[in-house]
Amino acid sequence: MKNEFSTKILSDSAIETAASLIKNGDVVGLPSETVYGLGADATNAKAVAKIFAAKGRPADNPLIIHISHIEMLATVARDIPSLAFTLAEKFWGGPLTLVLKKRSIIPDITSGGLGTVGVRMPSCGLFRQVIDLAGVPVAAPSANVSGSPSPTSAKHVLRDLDGKIPAIVDGGECGIGIESTVVSFDTPEKLRILRPGFVTFEELDAICETVIDESVLCKTDISQAASPGMKYTHYSPAASVVLVDGSFEEFTRFFGENSGADKYALITDDQTADFPYPHYAMGDGSDKDWAQRLFKAFRELDEIGAVAIYMRIPAKNGVGLAVWNRMFKAAGFEVIKL
């Protein structure tokens, strides 16, 4: 897509301008608690097409619809199971997306040709105010070039989409830093996690029977993705990502054998201070710290010219499952087991 705009950075008080752009069929970068989204009127096929064009996004990759209050859910989805309202009451506003049967008001381009659509209500007050002022549900995938790390600041959005969209609302850095958990309903009382996120398997399984889709943990052949992040390599920096399964000592030895001035280890372990090779410290190593900083770290390492990024896998419990999933896809579905 050729550059068509002089992209403006708007302050977080410019919600009326952002809402006006959406009402007029344009797209705008918006902050949320998860990552920055590229928002457009979810009911306007021409507006949604601008999202796909700006991102270079495959047409069969569905978008998530954002609403500002629970009453909007019935305007975009139908045959909603009671469990969906139970989950909404506990986790909305927040980083949980529910895949439900869509209403005809949602065009096929928004849902990737599916009869279902993902819906969530963000906790970010600014985003919800824009939705209210626009008066429409807002389709908003991550505001980045398709396949690259998701943006957690307005400057990330500008770096990817400058000249491709009219405006970005600068709401500061995102607090969570990874995309929402996406679930579908195997039955009215059973959930399937299609994309892990900040709302964890453990939290959902405490409410009802919950299973993890195989696409979360291994590469699968999917003809039609029911959720963003299922089908394609995602979240990848320009540097190659090498994902390693092994102890810290094994990882240190392996990286030493493959290290170089343009290769970095991404580290959270307590031993970071003693790591003798080029590395990037992520923090205290907690699941939530990984989640909040992962995409930011990818982008910062690209900026300093990293050619390869080596990472140890986290435990696949809690938010660690979501971090693992993002790493796995960024590494092209490959893991080196030491």
pLDDT tens for each residue of the chain, 338 residues long: 456 778 999 998 999 999 999 999 999 999 999 999 999 999 999 999 999 999 999 888 899 999 999 999 999 999 999 999 999 999 999 999 999 999 999 999 999 999 999 999 999 999 999 999 999 999 999 999 998 999 999 999 999 999 999 999 999 999 999 999 999 999 999 999 999 999 999 999 999 999 999 999 888 776 666 666 655 567 889 999 999 999 988 999 999 999 999 999 988 766 666 788 999 887 666 778 788 889 999 999 999 999 999 999 888 999 999 999 999 999 999 999 99
Domain ranges of the chain: 8-216, 240-337
Question: For the chain, how far is it from start to end, CA to CA, in angstroms?
Answer: 43
Tokens 């600068």 belong to which residue?
170
| CATH T-level assignment (fold) for domain 240-337 | Rossmann fold (3.40.50)
Reported residue count of the chain is 338
188's tokens: 């009215």
- Give the span between the Cα atoms of 82 and 234, in whole angstroms: 33
- Give the span between the Cα atoms of 320 and 313, in whole angstroms: 9
Beta bridge partners of 38: 29
Q: State the pTM of this model.
A: 0.94
Please give the CATH superfamily to which domain 8-216 belongs. DHBP synthase (3.90.870.10)
Count of beta carbons in the 10 Å neighbourhood of residue 192: 19
